[in-house]
Amino acid sequence: MSDTENTETSKPRVGFVGLGTMGSLMSANLLRADFPLTVWNRTSQRADDLRDSGAEVATSPAALAHSSQIVVSCLTDSPQVEEVLFGTEGLSEGLAPGSLLIDCSTLSPLKAQEFGERLARQNVTMLDAPVSGGSEGAKNATLTILVGGTSTDFERALGVLNAMGQTVTLLGPLGAGQWAKAINQVILAGMYLGVAEGVTLGLKAGLDVEVVLGALRGGAAGSWVLENRSQRMIDDNYPLGFKIALHRKDLAIGLELAQRVGATLPVSSLAATFEDGLIAQGYGDDDNSALARTIRQLSGL
């Protein structure tokens, strides 16, 4: 990247790896914010729409990193992040000293810290920045982004983060974002179960549940899950927003961290058990609101 190029664009060149449900929408928002963007995905066809919108498509993570000052990754789990970072033709082969990695994947904070330490050996810095808000938040650039790292790196990344999210918070050193995401997923487990139980109770009572929930939205039971996922539970239809298999993966992180610090999470443990059953029944790719399937089944609906 020449100084002339950077002056002309006034924004750093950004690379984005991982164009799944969330990543494809997040990277599209970076384009809309006029960031010069290079993308890469293991399944290259997922980059076609972004290419048509003006993004460059790299042939490998290393090639993407070579042409980027800031790289954003949004991948499934620790093994995928490690492979894309440090595998053959991985990002680490192309990241120049002074580059910044923003990892929006959800993984253990211990792995985030490990990856940051490995990158620091080549003078590359890292923020862990997992996101919350579902596919709606990714599409509308209203994600909550939970960040761990230094204040210097956070300030450098803020323009990129603000292009993808609405609430962007630095929570502490590297790994703090992942701790916060684990807490987020633990809270969501209880909220999904609570809304599913309320919907089921209303259906069994023969009430017009849509009217009931409409009345409850403005009260103490109001929540994102009630607003955005209760209709799916009423309809018993769960189009993808966030895969139940991925939430189960995230709960495993939360439960492991709880064990490390001596916290007891009975509701999360119950949700994990229900999710295991749903995955075994072939519902792992359904939206996380499919937890209602289990409550409905147990209630004879």
Find, among 101, 112, 110, 139, the residue nearest to 242 by Cα.
139
- Cβ-in-10-Å burial (0-12, 13-18, 19+) of 110 comes to middle
Find, among 139, 102, 167, the residue nearest to 28 by Cα.
139
Residue from 111, 181, 243, 249 carrying the catalytic annotation: 181
d(CA 191, CA 168): 22
Residue 139 a catalytic site member: no
DSSP code string of 150-162:
-HHHHHHHHHHHH
Cβ(158)–Cβ(102) under 8 Å? no
Rounded to the nearest 10°, the torsion over CA 74, 80, 86, 87 is -130
Cα angle 59, 164, 1 (rounded to 5 degrees) comes to 45
The residues that are catalytic are 181
